[in-house]
Amino acid sequence: MAGHSKWANIQHRKGRQDAVRAKLFSKFSKEITVAAKMGDPDPDKNPRLRLAIKEAKAQSMPKDNIERAIKKASGGDAEDYEEIRYEGYGPGGVAVIVEAMTDNRNRTASSVRSTFSKNGGNLGETGSVAFMFERKGEVSYPAAAGDADTVMMAAIEAGAEDVESSEDGHVIWCADTDLNDVSTALEAELGESESTKLVWKPTTTTEMDLEGMEKLMRLIEALEDDDDVQRVTTNFEASDEVMAQLAAE
């Protein structure tokens, strides 16, 4: 399975999800508010809002928090956030894409640049690493959703492009513009997904050893700790042995 799926599993096992739950909900609230403000506050008429709500629910965000974020946008008192993408290189030459929402571009740019430099990375120009990724829709299911053949057939019927199955679960890929339709069709066949979101999928990866991964972990965690940062994506690849060692630390 792709490196980032392994990374998510390590975060979960080490309890980091619980430690950052409040921050995670804050990021979801921001995305929901922005989506509702930019489009229609009715998720049935706003695909971006519908996907944001689905992702928030998958991470157990309370219904009240979701409704509050939508009302904030509808009430007209929501902050004006600007969506910005930063690109750079982390330890070992790993490509890093940082997606942010901010009401102060200068503050966020300064913070992201400082985080890169303090953690063995270098912030680059827009487009400096994006060519190593494709914009895709990603739907994740637990292993309990079915065996590889069952999930593959459901994915094909739903119009997906590819499936990666392992003992950890299933990751289904589709065109970014098809994510809403594909996820809805999959839900009818396989039930609720663990995650449904737009991602940057690496087309080329950088192999990392244990030392490199430890450094990269510190960079990713520092970036994700920034309130303005919504998502961090890298193109690292690491062996099962390296990921097991990280999980044991």
In a domain, 48, yes or no: yes
In a domain, 161, yes or no: no
The number of residues in the chain equals 249
In a domain, 111, yes or no: no
Q: How far apart, in whole angstroms, are the C-alpha atoms of residue 6 and residue 13?
A: 11
Q: Specify the pLDDT at position 2.
A: 44
Q: How far apart, in whole angstroms, are the C-alpha atoms of residue 43 and residue 196?
A: 15
CB 91 within 8 A of CB 117: no
In a domain, 247, yes or no: no
Task: Please provide residue 235's backbone torsions phi and psi, each rounded to the nearest 5 degrees.
Answer: -110, 30
Given a cut of 70, whether residue 173 has pLDDT beyond it is yes
User: Per-residue confidence at 9, pLDDT binned at 50, 70, 90?
Assistant: low
Q: Over the chain, what is the mean pLDDT?
A: 88
Q: Specify the pLDDT at position 72.
A: 86
In a domain, 38, yes or no: yes
* Count of structural domains, the chain: 1
CB 36 within 8 A of CB 74: yes
Average pLDDT of span 197-204: 93
In a domain, 141, yes or no: no
In a domain, 152, yes or no: no
Q: List the CATH number of the domain containing 12.
A: 1.10.10.200
Handedness of CA 146, 150, 156, 162 (dihedral sign): positive
Residue 65: how many other CB atoms lie within 10 Å: 14
Average pLDDT of span 209-230: 93
Range of the domain at 19: 3-74
- Predicted TM-score (pTM) of this structure: 0.85
In a domain, 96, yes or no: no
